[in-house]
Amino acid sequence: MLTKRIIPCLDIKDGRTVKGVNFVSLRDAGDPVELAARYAQEGADELVFLDISASEEKRKTLAKMVRDVARAIDIPFTVGGGISAVDDVAILLDNGADKVSVNSSAVRRPELISELAQRFGTQCIVVAIDAKQLENEWVVHLVGGKLPTDRKLFEWAKEAVDRGAGELLFTSMDHDGTKQGFANAALKKLSETVSVPIIASGGAGDMTHFVDTFAHGNADAALAASVFHFKEIGIPDLKTYLRQHKIPVR
């Protein structure tokens, strides 16, 4: 059985790590490079950095941060936020990122996934999907969850994988920041729909939630932010707890 991964997520705005609830009410959570180094030392398996203020002017700033992070840690990390072209990805990978995450740009132009997979390989293409339930259907949203689309979660997930996504990062906007647990029923269905690893995101509040998403949601990895940033859960403690509950971790 493959080991399950624990992945702290760092939302980056103007060079700082921030965290909110249901994608709003952001508060400062520290310096991304310092946090990254701390998580690597504590035993995180990977990291995800999402630049939520991404814009053309900030590309160089993001590339520098990626370079600084790559020097500070020895675990894989994924970078996303505003990626819309092959050149954007080349810059991030050249500066030390292991994988990139695409979201809105892929929904708007699905061919982007195929272009990135062909150029860089499926192993470094993560498609992030933000969705919320509307009338009992999981609907894909864009622009940090503000804009509903006509895309449905499971169909879009399948298309993304068919086009070359090597991994999916699914965030339930209904669960994000609530600390009430992950969207395990949707995660389980996702895992039955596609053949690539699924990263669960949105809802981590205590250690039982991680056990549940691995045992009942069939997630391959669990991503969380505030519980790690504000030291509510320590990664070494979490891994010990998971082992005690027969969840294989590194």
Tell whether 250 is covered by a domain. no
Please name the residue that has the structure tokens 């504000």.
230
Tell whether 34 is covered by a domain. yes
**Torsion 147-152-167-114 (CA) sign:** negative
Q: Is 206 tagged catalytic?
A: no
Count other C-beta atoms under 10 Å from residue 114's C-beta.
Answer: 15
Tell whether 232 is covered by a domain. yes
pLDDT tens for 179-220 read: 999 999 999 999 999 999 999 999 999 999 999 999 999 999
Contact 171, 140 (CB under 8 A): no
Query: Could you give the number of structural domains in the chain?
Result: 1
pLDDT tens for 80-111 read: 988 999 999 999 999 999 999 999 999 999 99
Tell whether 113 is covered by a domain. yes
Please identify which of the residues 51, 88, 130, 174 carries the catalytic annotation.
130
What pLDDT does 33 receive?
A: 94
Count other C-beta atoms under 10 Å from residue 209's C-beta.
Answer: 23
Contacts of 24 by beta carbon, 8 Å cutoff, 6+ apart:
none
What pLDDT does 146 receive?
A: 81
Q: Is 130 tagged catalytic?
A: yes
Tell whether 130 is covered by a domain. yes
What pLDDT does 249 receive?
A: 97
What DSSP string runs through 55-99?
-GGGHHHHHHHHHHHHHH--S-EEEESS--SHHHHHHHHHTT-SE
Domain span at residue 78 reads 5-244
Residue 54 has pLDDT above 70, yes or no: no
Give the pLDDT band of residue 62 (cuts 50, 70, 90). Answer: confident
Residue 21 has pLDDT above 70, yes or no: no
**Please, what is the average pLDDT of the chain?**
92
Give the pLDDT band of residue 229 (cuts 50, 70, 90). Answer: confident
One-letter amino acid of 238: L
Contact 221, 5 (CB under 8 A): yes
Please name the residue that has the structure tokens 């503000």.
146
Tell whether 27 is covered by a domain. yes
Q: How far apart are CA 75 and CA 73, in angstroms?
A: 6
Q: How far apart are CA 116 and CA 42, in angstroms?
A: 32
pLDDT tens for 69-81 read: 999 999 999 999 8
Tell whether 249 is covered by a domain. no
Distance of alpha carbon 140 from its chain centroid, rounded? 15
| CATH number for the domain harbouring residue 122 | 3.20.20.70
Please name the residue that has the structure tokens 């860089």.
120
Tell whether 145 is covered by a domain. yes
Q: How far apart are CA 68 and CA 37, in angstroms?
A: 10
The torsion angle over the Cα atoms of residues 57, 70, 243 and 175, rounded to 10 degrees, is 0
Mean pLDDT across 167-182: 92
pTM of the model: 0.94
